[in-house]
A and B are shown apart, each in its own frame.
Chain A
Amino acid sequence: MGFLDRSRTIAPPDWNRWLVPPAALSVHLAIGQAYAWSVFKPPLEDALGLTGTQSALPFQLGIVMLGLSAAFGGTLVERNGPRWAMFVSATCFSSGFLISALGAWTQQYWLVVLGYGFVGGIGLGIGYISPVSTLIKWFPDRPGMATGIAIMGFGGGALIASPWSAQMLESFGRDSGGIARTFLVHGVVYAVFMSVGVLLVRVPATVAEKAVARSAVNVSARNALRTPQFWCLWVVLCFNVTAGIGILEKASPMIRDFFEGTPVPVAAGAAAGFVALLSLANMVGRIAWSSTSDLVGRKNVYRLYLGVGALTYLVLALAGNASKPLFVVCAMLILSFYGGGFATVPAYLKDLFGTYQVGAIHGRLLTAWSLAGVLGPLIVNAIADGQLAAGRSGPDLYTTSLFIMMGLLVVGFVANELVRPVDAKYHEPVGEVVR
């Protein structure tokens, strides 16, 4: 593979390890654009005559492909190295936009779904896991902080893409030609932006890598699936994400419904501000809580996410619409735990399974995200619709959902308590680990 080969990415002795987080960020800030897909929905619906469900298809397929490619591509990423993975990610993600541009230009919507959802989705999954094991190897002293920086980028990507895409649509127009030009520019700019990560990323020198491998517990991705620890963490991640994504997906209508008919109603513009605050909490939580986990331990920080998270849901359910600041603070806390849960899990996996195939194990664990992405919005939307049909309004639309989320977090808390060090029978022999 030449330039992309793992052997060509071994760092020279004077390489600065602080060059690796920006390499990771250049990928994660780009692929985090996925969370800003909603910007394209209204213009696509108007230009191509789509329903809301149809215009959500590229995003939904993209998230499904993210989970699948992370789960099935993880071993390839470990074998071929981070530069290869970042290159594949950049190629797929940018090509996805270019195919979508062709689809919008020719008014063939299936090309947008295929491009952004299928091809771009592979870029999302491979890109998401590409820097994880490399960062952990460069920062064995602070793995939580290192992976927190990268995964924070995924949260930050939407903050950049959302206003940028909106401004571009304003400039090029919201018809199919304008959308096509916007997609085209996205494809080109993201290719250039991500290529810096491809060029910068380095793996630690072989000697250091071997030393890390010899000193640590090392479990293969295949064996990890046979351990109860993997499945306990799967439950932890799934329910922590379900609890957060339920609020995130419904944030704008939720705050408006909560305070409708009170002396402090929330207007549409203010609700957008609330959504922005949640994005900020999600992003800051990723770096802050995962860095904290380096000091207090992974298990303790998940006790915080799940235990305090459950209590926060209880406060939200009991307080109802009594206080807007309390509602905002509780929702922000929950979203910071949601982001923290994503960002801390690679370091938790490293603690349990070692660095040997941590990227591949992380990829398999992300299938929990795919399920949570369906489960969270399903619970909140179905219950809210049912309550509305029963003639209820205000906080009553969400009280049952809040208690369900609290219950899920308690189950996650118990699963976290069940996590113990991995049995030695699953460890790899040293000769297998050192390549």
Chain B
Amino acid sequence: MNRRALVVLAWLWVGLPLAYGLVELIRKVTALFTG
């Protein structure tokens, strides 16, 4: 496989779960200032 494509895939593999975690975190954080 092309090395550049492999780099993109590898970063997506770890980046997507992390993005999910960050979105969930932002939802909680908003409660600090609104709740």
Q: CB within 8 Å of B: which residues of A? A: 14-16, 18-19, 22-23, 25-26, 29, 153, 156, 159-160, 162-164, 193, 196, 200, 266-267, 269-277, 279-280, 328
Residue numbers in B under 8 Å from A160 (CB-CB) = 17-18, 20-21
Q: When the two chains form their complex, are residues A156 and B28 in contact, meaning their CB atoms are under 8 A apart?
A: no
What residue in chain B is nearest A268 (Cβ atoms)?
Answer: B35
Q: When the two chains form their complex, are residues A270 and B35 in contact, meaning their CB atoms are under 8 A apart?
A: yes
What residue in chain B is nearest A271 (Cβ atoms)?
Answer: B32
Q: A19-B10, A23-B10, A200-B10 are in contact. Are A159 and B22 (CB under 8 A)?
A: yes
- Please name 11 pairs of A and B residues whose Cβ atoms are closer than 8 Å in the assembled complex, sorted by A: A16-B3, A16-B7, A19-B10, A29-B14, A160-B18, A162-B24, A196-B10, A196-B13, A267-B35, A273-B29, A273-B31
Minimum CB–CB distance for A183 against chain B, Å: 19
Q: In the bound complex, what is the Cα–Cα distance between A313 and B10 (angstroms)?
A: 40
Q: When the two chains form their complex, are residues A25 and B22 in contact, meaning their CB atoms are under 8 A apart?
A: no
Classify the interface of chain B: helix, strand, loop or mixed.
Answer: helix
| Closest 3 pairs between A and B when the two form their complex, measured CB to CB | A273-B32, A159-B21, A160-B21
Q: When the two chains form their complex, are residues A15 and B3 in contact, meaning their CB atoms are under 8 A apart?
A: yes
Minimum CB–CB distance for A240 against chain B, Å: 24
What residue in chain B is nearest A28 (Cβ atoms)?
Answer: B14
Minimum CB–CB distance for B31 against chain A, Å: 4
Minimum CB–CB distance for B19 against chain A, Å: 9
Residue numbers in B under 8 Å from A29 (CB-CB) = 14, 17-18
**Which residues of B from 1 to 31 have beta carbons under 8 Å from A?**
3-4, 6-7, 10-11, 13-14, 17-18, 20-22, 24-25, 28-31
Minimum CB–CB distance for A34 against chain B, Å: 15
Q: When the two chains form their complex, are residues B32 and A270 in contact, meaning their CB atoms are under 8 A apart?
A: yes
Minimum CB–CB distance for B11 against chain A, Å: 5
Residue numbers in B under 8 Å from A153 (CB-CB) = 14
Contact of A25 among B14, B24, B25, B30 (CB under 8 A): B14
Contact of B6 among A16, A273, A275 (CB under 8 A): A16
Q: A18-B7, A196-B13 are in contact. Are A269 and B18 (CB under 8 A)?
A: no
Residue numbers in B under 8 Å from A277 (CB-CB) = 29, 32
Residue numbers in A under 8 Å from B33 (CB-CB) = 270, 273
